[in-house]
A = this chain, B = another copy of it.
Amino acid sequence: MLPKFESIFSIDCVIFGFDEGALKVLLIQRNDPPFENWWALPGYFVEKNEGIQEAAERILFNFTGLTDIFLEQFYTFGDVDRHPQGRVITVAYYAMIRISSKDNLHPNTPFVKKAFWCPVNEIPALAFDHSLIFEKSLQRIRRKISYDPIAFELLPEKFTLTQLQNVYEAILNKKLDKRNFRKKMLSNGILKELDEKQHGVAFRAATFYKFDRRTYNKLFKKELTFSKE
């Protein structure tokens, strides 16, 4: 027999983007009583007859208009008091996507007043434990960036070394030495230099690079923990 207490579950999404030199996260402003005007991560209850991944995609689309996002589950939050209305555990997902300030977000649910890209250093007070969820996702990508080339998921296909350094600095939340950074990034042949240069800039135009995933896989995909192959 199943236990008799009612517990509800939800999903929440932490969607990262990089734009105008800043790491950003997708926030929504809720419109549903008693939470009108509260800032929050896009998230809501899972329905009775849907799987959780399905729910995450549906909710993200309804709350933001975004589709075809590769959502990855990263943690389930289940503290007893995390939600004011009762026992709600939430399964949190994250994604890192390419965005541009020219893109518009299109919420299409009465629950959401607006959706926008918020620089991670300017996040307002968030509903429930969403600040905790956000922090944990940031820890996850900070760890991941040391063994997975996730920075390239945020950047356009062609990027400058300055943009690449900005992404690392934004994720790691620290300044890196420019010369050292360039030396490390260029020493492996992972970045392919392109003939193009930046247009319409007042200063000396920087070179564009592309991420060479095949070379990366050849050099860095390894099975053993510390093989230098």
Chain A positions near chain B (C-beta within 8 angstroms): 1-3, 5-9, 45-53, 73, 75-76, 78-80, 85-89, 91, 145-151, 168, 172, 176, 181, 184-185, 187-188, 190, 216, 219-229
Contacting pair B146 A225 (CB below 8 A): yes
What 12 additional pairs, Cβ within 8 angstroms, besides A6-B7, A220-B226? A3-B48, A5-B8, A6-B6, A7-B9, A7-B46, A52-B78, A53-B78, A89-B91, A146-B221, A146-B224, A184-B224, A184-B228
Q: Is the interface of A mostly helix, strand, loop or mixed?
A: loop
Provide a sorted-by-A list of 12 A–B residue pairs whose CB atoms are within 8 angstroms.
Answer: A3-B8, A3-B45, A7-B7, A7-B8, A7-B9, A7-B48, A53-B78, A89-B91, A146-B221, A188-B228, A216-B226, A220-B226
Give A222's nearest chain B residue, CB to CB.
Answer: B146
Residue of B nearest to A221 (CB): B146
Nearest CB to that of A52 among chain B residues?
B78
A75–B73 touching, CB < 8 Å = yes
Q: Is the CB of B52 within 8 A of A224?
A: no
What distance in Å separates the Cβ of A18 from its nearest Cβ neighbour in chain B?
15
Report how far A80 CA is from B52 CA in the complex, Å: 8
- CB A139 to nearest CB in B, in angstroms, measures 13
Q: Are A88 and B2 in touch, CB under 8 angstroms?
A: yes
**A52 → B minimal CB distance (Å):** 3
> Quick check: B187 and A228 within 8 Å, CB to CB?
yes
Residues of B contacting A76 with CB < 8 Å?
A: 52, 73, 76, 91
Which residue of B8, B9, B147 contacts A225 across the interface (Cβ within 8 Å)?
B147
